[in-house]
Amino acid sequence: MQGGNPLLWEGGKTIKMGSKRVERIKQEARVNNATVGTLLVSGGIFLAMSLSGRQTPMLEYCFKPETHDPASAAQFCTDEKRYLMPLYPWDSSSEQPSNPEFQEGWKLPPKATPVGIIDPDNPYKWLWGILATVSIGGAYALSVARERKLTQYLPTYRQQVQEYWIRNQIGSWLRLRKKAIEAQTLEKKFQHAANVDLELFEWVT
């Protein structure tokens, strides 16, 4: 081990796991999380847009029989007596089912009078649905890929933590040992000085 870049053993080969690689892994995690979050938010917005409104034009119609009495005609096609149906079955006889059992209600009776066409308020619902699927699917794919990547990094992280722990334990033991040796040396110096003073005192007296 040298200067904060411990040598780690992984997959039968020795690799060097340093602070730069750890920072790169963290940077990858931050970018991945930001991307997944953005995709999820975008997917939620697209999904909400795909569920709102309608993408087909509507035909507004009413039942207005032929009459020459203006007073009688005024009671028809009022706001509360108007109805809606998709425009395409009205003007596309080619789409009418060939089975007579399903033809009933496909076309309006002759007395039905078209009033106007209401344009779709969300003509791109299909596009929002596709974008929502792509965004949410992309977020899920990135999450799975990140999880697999972390699984690959896990042995390296575990080994690195173990190496750091052992190094710290050895460093702590060496520091304690040094302090103990210094204390013993100082005690021996005091004892030697005391013995010298005692011998000098005895020699003088």
Q: What is the mean pLDDT of each run of 10 residues along the chain (205 residues)?
A: 42 49 80 92 94 86 72 72 74 54 58 83 92 94 85 68 76 82 76 68 65
What confidence score (pLDDT) does residue 86 get?
Answer: 76
The H or E element spanning position 116 is strand 112-118
Contact of 61 with 115, CB cutoff 8 Å: yes
pLDDT at 41: 95
Query: Is the distance from CB of 20 to CB of 34 less than 8 angstroms?
Result: no
Q: Which helix (H) or strand (E) holds 74?
A: none
- Alpha-carbon span 39 to 50, nearest angstrom: 16
> Around 193, how many Cα atoms within 13 Å sit in the side-chain half-sphere?
6
Instruction: Give yes or no for a contact between 118 and 51, defined as CB atoms under 8 angstroms apart.
Output: no
Q: What is the pLDDT of residue 128?
A: 93
120 within 8 A of 53, measured Cβ to Cβ: yes
Q: What angle do CA 113, 124, 62 make, to 5 degrees?
A: 10
- How high is the pLDDT of residue 67? 67
What CA–CA distance (Å, rounded) separates 20 from 164?
16
pTM: 0.52
